[in-house]
Structure 1
Amino acid sequence: MNLWEAMTGSDLTREWKAFEARAEALPADYRAAWEEIKVHLFPYSDFTGRNLMPILDGALGLLEETASGGRSVRQVLGDDFEGFCAELAGGERARSYRDRWREQLNRNVVRKVGRLGG
């Protein structure tokens, strides 16, 4: 990846299109699971989404491998897609964008209150 790709995000666009092309080759229930995984993983994204690309690649690889094995998607992932995605993102210690924003807001409030009181 060169600087121009990093600035414009064109590398992410290319990678995303490759993910979607791979997902189109999956059976219908696996494509639906892929859509659910994307929805539940996006809250764990950073500003650009780069941190999710390896996770999404691994999740899609899992779907491809299990689809070729003939197992149902529910046998592999279970019914708790949200929990599955939270574990993929880092489990209990995974921070969503809301957590990061909340921490930033708290730091700013503490800094402002410190200026007023001191």
Structure 2
Amino acid sequence: MGIQDIIEGKKQWRSHMARVKALPPDYQIVYKEMQKYFFKVGPTDLTDGTLLSGIVEFFEEGVTAGKGVLELIGNDVAAFCDDLIKDSRTNADIYQESISGNSGTAEK
């Protein structure tokens, strides 16, 4: 990864966060909780950027439709997040494989 890649990544992240800050306060709170959850659970494809940007797009559509954030995702934010990554490999899967001695992929 070169310096240009790092600079471009920072530009994209700042642009992404500007979109988040443009959301209503309740959407921002839920987004930040989802972001914390994903960083903690660690879906391995989180680094490609499509998951978080997809959530922002989904939230922007909800704002445009005049819906509250809980109308979109329900009352259980963690369950919503789990549904989003149910078919993704997570850091928890990798850890389970390492302690069980399996080098293959985890079944989900």
TM over 0.5: yes
- Which structure has more helix as a fraction of its residues? 1
- Pairing partner for 2:36 from 31, 34, 39: 39
Structure 1 or 2, whichever has the larger Rg, is: 1
CA distance in 2 between partners of 1:11 and 1:49 (Å): 17
Q: After TM superposition, which residue ranges in structure 1, 4 or more long, deviate above 3 angstroms?
A: 8-12
TM-score using structure 1 length = 0.72
Query: For residues 59-95 of structure 1, what are the alpha-carbon distances to aligned partners after superposition, in whole Å with 9 as ceiling and x for unaligned?
Result: 1100011112211111111111111111112x2x443
Letter in 1 for 2:21: E
- In structure 2, runs of 5+ residues without a counterpart are 103-108
Percent identity over the alignment is: 25
Q: Partner residue of 1:65?
A: 61
In the alignment, is the contact (CA less than 8 A) between 2:34 and 2:81 conserved in 1?
yes
Match of 1:87 in 2: 83
Aligned length in residues: 101
TM-score by length of 2: 0.78
What is the RMSD computed on CA atoms of the aligned residues?
2.3
